[in-house]
Amino acid sequence: MTATVLTGARAGLVSCETCRLLSRPASLAEPGYCPRCGAELAWRRHQSIQYTWALVVAAAICYIPANALPVLTTNALGSSDSDTIMGGVVLLYTTGSWPLALIVLVASVMVPLGKLVALVYLLITVQRGSLGGTRDRTRLYRMVQFIGRWSMLDVFVDTFTVALVQLQPLMSVEPGPGVLFFAAVVVLTMIAAESFDPRLIWDPAVTRGNRHA
Amino acid sequence: MPESIDRDDLPQATVVPRRRVRISVVWVIPILAAVVAIGIAVQRVLSEGPTITIVFKAAEGIEAGKTFVKYKDVNIGQVTAVRLSPDYGKVEVTAKIAKSAAGLMVDDARFWIVQPRVTLSGVSGLSTLLSGNYIGFETGKSDRKQRNFTGLEIPPVITDGQSGRQFVLKADSLGSLGIGAPVYYRSLQAGQVIAYRLADDGKAVEITVFVNAPYDQYVDGGTRFWNASGVDVAVGAGGVDVRMQSVVSLIAGGLAFETPPFAVTGVRAAADTVFTLFGDQATAMKKPDLTGMRYVVYFDETMRGLSAGAPVTLLGLPAGEVTAVGLELDPQTANIRGRVEIVTFPERLIARLGQHQAAVGAALARSRQQRQVFFQRLVEQRGLRAQLRSGSLLTGQLFVAFDYFPDAPKAKIDWSQETPVLPAVPSPVTDLEAKLSGILAKLDKLPYEAIGADVTRALASLNVTLEDTSKTLNRVDTNVTPELKTTLEQVRGVLATVDGVLQNGVNSTLAEVNTTLGDLRRPLATADAVLKTTEATLVGRNAPIQHELRDALQEISLAARSLRVLMDYLDRNPEALIRGKAEVKP
């Protein structure tokens, strides 16, 4: 299918990851530095797959306590309420504001999970040298990268609430341990997405194409 | 020997480059994450306390995840689920208890729902108005672990941690006492009622009271407890004595205890000692009567109003009480009479003796022989007799009084019987009744019929007399009336003549009067002239002469008026000249 794909690496060229200048590497072993911006050139990111795997696994581990532990503890007039993320979603839904519940569900539960699943999918396909859907996978990667910056919404809201609602002794809001894990999930998935080299998606096509050619 | 081999024919070993599996340092991150997550999980599992189930009748204000279990106001757990029991009759509350409090969940631990409670003896649980209800907890003494409990309906009175002792009071009925009802010692609140239950035989109520530490030392073996609810009003010769422990006890009921001086044993009562609960202070503090002597008194009169417990008095002082009121049947004499069993307490009477006589009285009480002789003399020589008397005119309650009746018929006491019979005399009330009935009987004997016949006869003669009178009157009517008529006609004739005479008389009189007046006119004219001269001669209006003149004139004018009146009168009533002035008609 995409047998005629030609990559820069195949052509003996390397592109700068910073300013995207296509240049001839100094040598095959040591591509050297970008002549324009001075960034270190690399054929492919260093141990990209292993790095990404490690971070994805770490994020997946953190995802469990992030959902199991309370993210917010509300003390109001002597009674205290601890809410997990799913608890908040259920509370919002049962109190009738299902649009808000949907937003929280999508932003706080589905998006981190989706990112993890997407990254795992990309890693597996790259490692297996899958040929199909290279364009779609690239688009998926871009989406993961793009959405990463919005995932901290929950943590933001949490910190804001904690900072604003401090009416001791009537009412106070304290962050729960879950929010730390949630932040860790977001940060780890962002770094994982960054450490994944999308050029790897296309490499099997090149090699496979050449082999067939 | 070595064979030459063509080395080139041999296959070349392949060199496979060693695959170096390099593990990146980045794997530290997931390992770290795993360690932290597992650490938290382990901590959670380790700090996990037991999960218990409490069965309540209703889950008032209990919410899963929000209601706490508190012990001494410290959270020791949280309700995790509230659901109906399988038969829908009760509520099962599941609570997760902190590991630190796991040891408290023993067999006799108690749970109850704490909510704002306003009772007569106080307000409690106000904090729950803000924080919501919670489950109160009180640990027990047992060592056996328990995970399933039944919640209490009423919060128990917490005594653990308070020093003091617990006692059990036996009462006939609970009265107005409730859990938390105060126990007073000399009007100080010394404890409270913490529980009550029906005795096992169902014939008494066992009330458990807790007496707090400083006061429990005053609970002696001989201490009396009594019901101090309400107001105790005693009316005596010294006035009205009102006793009340506190307003709370008035409304919510209460108990009090005290040790009567004669009952002090000097030994502190052990915890859980059973005491009797008396109805009131007087009964509680009453000295027990040590020796009671039983007698029987027979009465041949109504005993309505006499009941067991009625007092027996000697010369008006309390000496004992009635123990039974019944009948005695004697088939041989065909007689039924009232049988009253009494018990007398010599101590009461001895207590009334003067100091120097107390020893004599005590000796008398001790020796049966002496006492019998003494009593015998009282009965035979002084005439000591029992009598039923009315204690209250309103209620008709009777009591048995012993007094001296020297005129009473002779009697003896048979001491051989187990309960000797004391002689009695009829009561004054029955005496009066007897007299009344005697009078009535006499009245009954009166010859009413004979009297009736006499009266009838008298009436008949009266009738005859009246008829005679009627006849006489008739005679008068027929004989006398015509004569009367003629007499009246004659009288009328006489009057007519008188009338004629009068008319002539009056006319002539009037003419004479007229001439008299004409004569008068002349002197008057002279008088006028005289007056004029007088006026001319006498200067000053206020001169005495003038004054007198005015008076004279007034007199004259009055005279003239009288004359005119007379004339008028005469004109109307000419007969007045003969008969004089007639009476003014009303």
Per-residue pLDDT tens for B176-198?
777 778 888 888 888 888 888 88
pLDDT given at position A121: 93
Q: Does B463 touch chain A (CB under 8 A)?
A: no
Q: How far apart are CA B571 and CA B507, in angstroms?
A: 10
Report the pLDDT averaged over residues B301-323.
Answer: 82
Q: Give how far B68 is from chain A: nearest CA, Å.
A: 9
What is the number of structural domains in chain B? 4
Q: Which of A202, A197, A201 is nearest to A46 (CA)?
A: A197
Same domain? For A61 and A81 the reply is yes
Mark yes or no for CB contact A61/B132 under 8 Å.
no
Per-residue pLDDT tens for B544-577?
666 777 888 899 899 888 888 888 888 888 777 7
Q: Is there a domain that residue B494 lies in?
A: yes
Q: Does A51 touch chain B (CB under 8 A)?
A: yes
pLDDT given at position B123: 67
Per-residue pLDDT tens for B338-351?
888 888 887 777 77
One-letter amino acid for residue B8 of the chain: D
Same domain? For B299 and B404 the reply is yes
Q: Is there a domain that residue B25 lies in?
A: no
Enclosing H/E stretch for B430: helix B428-445
Same domain? For A19 and A105 the reply is no
Q: Does A91 touch chain B (CB under 8 A)?
A: no
User: What is the extent of the structural domain holding B271?
Assistant: 164-285
A212 — pLDDT class (breaks 50, 70, 90) = very low
pLDDT given at position A166: 79
Same domain? For A125 and A59 the reply is yes
Most confident of A72-76, A139-143, B254-258, B307-311: A139-143
pLDDT given at position B234: 62
The share of chain A scoring above pLDDT 90, in percent, equals 9
Same domain? For B276 and B318 the reply is no
Q: Give B290: exposed, middle or buried? Use CB within 10 Å, 0-12, 13-18, 19+.
A: exposed
Same domain? For B480 and B384 the reply is no
Same domain? For A183 and A127 the reply is yes
Per-residue pLDDT tens for B70-116?
888 888 888 888 889 889 888 899 988 888 888 888 888 888 888 77
Mark yes or no for CB contact B37/A58 under 8 Å.
no
pLDDT given at position B425: 83
Does the pLDDT value for residue B444 go beyond 90?
Answer: no
Per-residue pLDDT tens for B481-531?
777 888 888 888 888 888 888 888 778 878 888 888 888 888 788 878 877
Q: Does A169 touch chain B (CB under 8 A)?
A: no
Mark yes or no for CB contact A79/B66 under 8 Å.
yes
**Chain B CB contacts of A58 below 8 Å:** 29-30, 32-34
Q: Give B500: exposed, middle or buried? Use CB within 10 Å, 0-12, 13-18, 19+.
A: exposed
Same domain? For B237 and B318 the reply is no
Same domain? For A3 and A51 the reply is no
Same domain? For B184 and B105 the reply is no
Q: Does B381 touch chain A (CB under 8 A)?
A: no
Same domain? For A133 and A62 the reply is yes
Mark yes or no for CB contact B65/A81 under 8 Å.
yes
Does the pLDDT value for residue B157 go beyond 60?
Answer: yes
Q: Give how far A113 is from chain B: nearest CA, Å.
A: 16
Q: Give how far A95 is from chain B: nearest CA, Å.
A: 16
Q: What is the DSSP letter of B200?
A: T
Report the pLDDT averaged over residues A106-132.
Answer: 88
Same domain? For B298 and B281 the reply is no
B20 — pLDDT class (breaks 50, 70, 90) = low
Per-residue pLDDT tens for B460-489?
888 988 988 888 888 777 777 777 888 888
Q: Which two tokens stand for residue A177?
A: 């341990």
Q: How far apart are CA B514 and CA B512, in angstroms?
A: 5
Mark yes or no for CB contact A78/B131 under 8 Å.
yes
User: What is the extent of the structural domain holding A181?
Assistant: 46-212
Mark yes or no for CB contact B37/A62 under 8 Å.
yes
Per-residue pLDDT tens for B447-459?
888 888 888 989 9
pLDDT given at position A103: 86
Q: Is there a domain that residue B450 lies in?
A: no
Give the closest of A54, A57, A69 to B24, CB-based. A54
**Chain A CB contacts of B34 below 8 Å:** 58, 61
| Comparison of pLDDT for B23 and B539, the residue scoring more | B23
Enclosing H/E stretch for A75: strand A72-76
Same domain? For B314 and B203 the reply is no
Does the pLDDT value for residue A172 go beyond 60?
Answer: yes
Residues 46-75 of B with CB under 8 A from A: 65-66
Q: Is there a domain that residue B467 lies in?
A: no
Same domain? For A32 and A69 the reply is no
Q: Is there a domain that residue B8 lies in?
A: no
Same domain? For B143 and B186 the reply is no
Residues 6 or more apart in contact with residue A81 via CB below 8 angstroms: A73, A74, A75, B65, B66
A56 — pLDDT class (breaks 50, 70, 90) = very high
Does the pLDDT value for residue A2 go beyond 50?
Answer: no
Write down the mean pLDDT value for chain A.
82
Does the pLDDT value for residue A72 go beyond 50?
Answer: yes
**Worst-scoring range by mean pLDDT, B218-232, B339-353, B524-538, B569-583?**
B524-538
> How many Cβ pairs closer than 8 A exist between chain A and B?
52
pLDDT given at position B575: 78
Does the pLDDT value for residue A1 go beyond 50?
Answer: no
Here the CATH number for the domain that contains residue A143 is 1.20.140
Q: Is there a domain that residue B14 lies in?
A: no
Same domain? For B305 and B370 the reply is yes
Give the closest of A69, A77, A81 to B130, CB-based. A77
| Comparison of pLDDT for B248 and B60, the residue scoring more | B60
Same domain? For B242 and B304 the reply is no
Residues 170-209 of A with CB under 8 A from B: 177, 181, 184, 188
Place of tokens 């458990």: B208
Write down the mean pLDDT value for chain B.
80
Same domain? For B132 and B249 the reply is no
Q: How far apart are CA A115 and CA A118, in angstroms?
A: 5
**Worst-scoring range by mean pLDDT, A40-54, B330-344, B365-379?**
B365-379
Same domain? For A58 and A36 the reply is no
**Worst-scoring range by mean pLDDT, A87-101, A172-186, A196-210?**
A196-210
Give the closest of B22, B33, B34 to A184, CB-based. B33
**Worst-scoring range by mean pLDDT, A82-86, A174-178, A184-188, B362-366?**
B362-366
Mark yes or no for CB contact B37/A69 under 8 Å.
no
pLDDT given at position B538: 60
Yes or no: say if B109 and B143 are a contact pair by the CB < 8 Å rule.
no
What is the number of structural domains in chain A? 2
Same domain? For A56 and A144 the reply is yes
Yes or no: say if A197 and A45 are a contact pair by the CB < 8 Å rule.
yes
Q: Is there a domain that residue B308 lies in?
A: yes
pLDDT given at position A213: 35
Report the pLDDT averaged over residues B221-237.
Answer: 72
Does the pLDDT value for residue A3 go beyond 50?
Answer: no
B122 — pLDDT class (breaks 50, 70, 90) = low
Same domain? For B260 and B312 the reply is no
Give the closest of A57, A77, A177 to B131, CB-based. A77
Q: Is there a domain that residue B396 lies in?
A: yes
B147 phi, psi to nearest 5 deg: -120, -15
3-class secondary-structure state, position B128:
helix
| Comparison of pLDDT for B95 and B363, the residue scoring more | B95
| Comparison of pLDDT for B37 and B268, the residue scoring more | B37
Report the pLDDT averaged over residues B295-301.
Answer: 85
Among the candidates B242, B257, B285, a domain finishes at B285
pLDDT given at position B233: 67
Same domain? For A84 and A106 the reply is yes
Same domain? For A128 and A206 the reply is yes
**Worst-scoring range by mean pLDDT, A136-140, B31-35, B238-242, B455-459?**
B238-242
Same domain? For A79 and A14 the reply is no
